[in-house]
Structure 1
Amino acid sequence: MDNVRIDKWLWAARFFKTRSLATDAIDNGKVKIGGDRVKPARTLKLGERLHIDNGSDEWDVLVLGLSDKRQGAPIARTLYEETEESIARRQKEAERRKLFQEPAADFKGRPTKRDRRLRESIDTGE
């Protein structure tokens, strides 16, 4: 395989669950090659360095293989190599998330009256 669209490759390498999510990320400037924004139809070449932000994590990767078919995660990991700085940054961010829980992370949907009363009683110290 000589050339693959970048949106297909991001989907095949399992950075995004769907091709449309990959396309949206590219259009919004969340995927860059060498610091430059690209279009979803741009062909990817071996050895190119990508910066990928999928909303929850950011990766800096080097393209090692090309594929336009989504396969298992072990095969998808052979398509790229993550840089040492990127690994360290993601581990640091994961540790930060573990230590500081988002206050709203426990809420599921809209709070009920009971939830609101409980929260107000905690806030006022009753």
Structure 2
Amino acid sequence: MSTEAVRIDIWLWRARFVKTRALATGFVGKGRIRIGEGSALRRIEKPSTLVRPGDSLTFPLGSRIVRLTITALGERRGPASEARGLYDLHPEED
């Protein structure tokens, strides 16, 4: 398992789910994100929480619930095509 990790607020910003780091910090601070730990989900409330490739995240975005697995951490906030390579979306469940 990789020992590389990055703060959740930085990862959300790099993956382009939020426009600024400040918005990412506020989003995480409101407890809207869940991280998968085995079959259980744990609420994240601290922007300093570290995430790693392989972690699963669940959070509301607009009117939908996003479920994804982190595949890479990224090194910068790049274009959308680069950001899309940082995660795999889970199919929507109806």
For the aligned pair, the TM-score class normalised by the smaller chain equals: 0.7 to 0.9
| Structure ID, larger Rg | 1
Q: Name whichever structure is richer in helix by fraction.
A: 1
The one-letter amino acid of 1:3's match is A
**CA RMSD for the aligned pairs?**
1.8
User: Quick one: which of 68, 74, 82 aligns to 1:75?
Assistant: 82
Gaps of 5+ in 2: none
Identity %: 39
Structure 1's consecutive aligned runs of 4 or more residues displaced over 3 angstroms after TM superposition are 54-57
Q: Which amino acid aligns with 2:74?
A: S
Partner of 2:8: 6
CA distance in 2, matches of 1:69, 1:51: 22
In the other structure, the counterpart of 2:60 is 53
Change (3 A) 1:68 1:58: farther
Higher strand share: 2
CA distance in 1, matches of 2:22, 2:7: 13
Query: What is the TM-score when the length of structure 1 is the normalising length?
Result: 0.63
Answer yes or no: is the 8 Å Cα contact 1:51–1:59 preserved in 2. Answer: yes
Deviation at 1:68, TM superposition (A): 4.5
- Aligned positions, number: 87
Match of 1:18 in 2: 20
